[in-house]
Chain A
């Protein structure tokens, strides 16, 4: 997206034609962009005025945005106060950040390790086969993954408990033990995503100039040294960028993952309930529109700051990798 800036800079130097004139000149181009423009307007820009609900007590008779803006029951920051005074605010915010940090750290570590190992392979068919299989979990839905989780951790029939029985240990009711769930979630996350991320890192490893390795070999470096002194430093920019990108999204939990794997299992909320699942319940099960708008707005604002913060950092470390 740095391209955009370049072109913007170039067109600044030229004299700009008027917008209407440009539309007339490029009728066809503007016309075919219209579906995307309208879609974005309807579902993204039209959404902003609705944020007023965060400062109101929602009245079900207010159906149109006009009613909401001009006949709303304004309550100031009450919705935010209510949320932040409840214990839930801390719990869901903490869980969102904590789980995301675990995902980023463990996920990055495993994928880099896998990528380094994959890059050492020289046997073509072995490489192809393992890579194909590794990517498979990435394509399936979290619902499907939840069944896999069930086959492993189901209390009655699960593989883990069967194993414990064979060892003569007591079985564990995993779906009622919140303490183990961050670990389970991290494991499933890695299971599903590490293969794909490894391929992305692998792409940046294979773009490294082979002459560097030859030079290192002449200097007597062994392969472990090459990995540490040549490969790692050279893929560092990619690692930093990918990490910063996920850091920008740290306020957004993966609803699809958490809801599919945990669902409405209240016993696990203490460690697995994230902002997204909390807002979902507030809206769809409790029906508290104003409250859930307020929490969503809180999430968006912090998320926005995180995106800009991480982008600022990216720019500092590695200007080419900045998102914008």
Chain B
């Protein structure tokens, strides 16, 4: 690598990058601080980075047994795990087919998947189809529609598998391996990085989704945590429920801190996945966006 002098310009660039980084992080910090600020202190001073009085009451309410936020959290986790596994399986399997050079009609099959990408029918037909398939007001309505299979991910897997050397298949065939063996013993193990990438795409998509809930679910017991969070912004009644369940009715409902605490716990799993996100998600996006 070339040597370059460290100059004022370099310092200025460092400062700009640092500033942008701080701007990215600071609002999250504020949210976290507000979530542990005593409600009366919020009423008095507004949201502040320096809480006058620290209180974990909001978190106590959220984690109390029977709280709707906890239920939503569990639903979100279930939907994310089930959906991600399903998504990886469906995408990985079809990706193998599209990259299998023995399949003569793989080009046409690719086209079949590609057409809906450029011309969709819009949300109303989609909504009516979901209703016709009874994907309403049940857990499947949160898992199956919209998220379970994504064509962009399919092409990502196909491109990765097509990039593997043809000699793999040829030599395995000479050794007498059939298609099933070649797929499960050679291709899928080699495709683990790209499957991890699409897995993270699916997982994040499910975790952050509330579209299926807003469109297809009316039963409050089935709301995933993101949708609860969206509703929490305008609903005070849910806060009362939370307090009622936890048996504490003496204190004023911690409206503001509770909102922020709920939003903070939705970020939890993302922080847990962070190392994987850095490794697989970013690479996948870069590969998917910049070709060659």
In the assembly, what is the distance between CA of A161 and CA of B91, in Å?
A: 48
The answer to whether the Cβ of A169 comes within 8 Å of any Cβ in the partner chain is: no
In the assembly, what is the distance between CA of A223 and CA of B111, in Å?
A: 46
Which residues of chain A from 207 to 263 have any CB-CB distance to chain B below 8 Å in the complex? 210, 213-214, 217, 223-224, 238, 242, 255-256, 259-260, 263
In the assembly, what is the distance between CA of A283 and CA of B115, in Å?
A: 25
Interchain CB contact under 8 A, B123 and A147: no
In the assembly, what is the distance between CA of A4 and CA of B105, in Å?
A: 11
What are the residues of chain A within 8 A of B234 when measuring CB–CB?
A: 263
Name which residue of chain A comes closest to B16, CB basis. Answer: A117
Beyond A29-B102, A157-B47, A200-B285, is A139–B154 a contact (Cβ under 8 Å)? no
Interchain CB contact under 8 A, A36 and B94: yes
- Which stretch (A20-28, A69-77, A81-89, A96-104) binds chain B? A20-28
Interchain CB contact under 8 A, B124 and A203: no
CB distance from A241 to the nearest CB of B (A): 8
CB distance from A146 to the nearest CB of B (A): 7
What are the residues of chain B within 8 A of A46 when measuring CB–CB?
A: 125, 129
Which residues of chain A from 100 to 152 have any CB-CB distance to chain B below 8 Å in the complex? 114, 117-118, 120-123, 126, 129-130, 132-137, 139-144, 146-148, 150-152
In the assembly, what is the distance between CA of A63 and CA of B18, in Å?
A: 57
Contact with A296, one of B10, B124, B132 (Cβ below 8 angstroms): B124
Interchain CB contact under 8 A, A304 and B119: yes
Interchain CB contact under 8 A, B17 and A47: no
State the majority secondary structure of interface residues on B: helix
The answer to whether the Cβ of A300 comes within 8 Å of any Cβ in the partner chain is: yes
Which residues of chain A from 29 to 45 have any CB-CB distance to chain B below 8 Å in the complex? 29-30, 32-33, 35-37, 39-40, 42-45
CB distance from B83 to the nearest CB of A (A): 13
CB distance from A113 to the nearest CB of B (A): 8
In the assembly, what is the distance between CA of A247 and CA of B127, in Å?
A: 27
Beyond A7-B107, A50-B124, is A157–B256 a contact (Cβ under 8 Å)? yes
What are the residues of chain B within 8 A of A296 when measuring CB–CB?
A: 121-125
Interchain CB contact under 8 A, A11 and B107: yes
Name which residue of chain A comes closest to B86, CB basis. Answer: A35
Count of chain B residues with Cβ under 8 Å from any Cβ of A?
Answer: 108
Interchain CB contact under 8 A, A279 and B16: no
Beyond A139-B270, A210-B1, is A50–B129 a contact (Cβ under 8 Å)? yes
State the majority secondary structure of interface residues on A: helix
Interchain CB contact under 8 A, B46 and A213: no
Interface residues of A (CB under 8 A from B): 1, 3-4, 7-8, 11, 16-17, 19, 22, 25-30, 32-33, 35-37, 39-40, 42-48, 50-51, 53, 63-65, 114, 117-118, 120-123, 126, 129-130, 132-137, 139-144, 146-148, 150-152, 154, 156-159, 161-162, 191, 194-196, 199-200, 203-204, 210, 213-214, 217, 223-224, 238, 242, 255-256, 259-260, 263, 276, 279-280, 283-284, 289, 292-293, 295-297, 299-300, 303-304, 307-308, 320-321, 324
A-B pairs with beta carbons under 8 Å apart, 14 shown: A22-B103, A29-B179, A32-B183, A33-B97, A45-B116, A47-B129, A123-B14, A135-B282, A136-B25, A139-B204, A151-B260, A191-B24, A204-B290, A300-B122
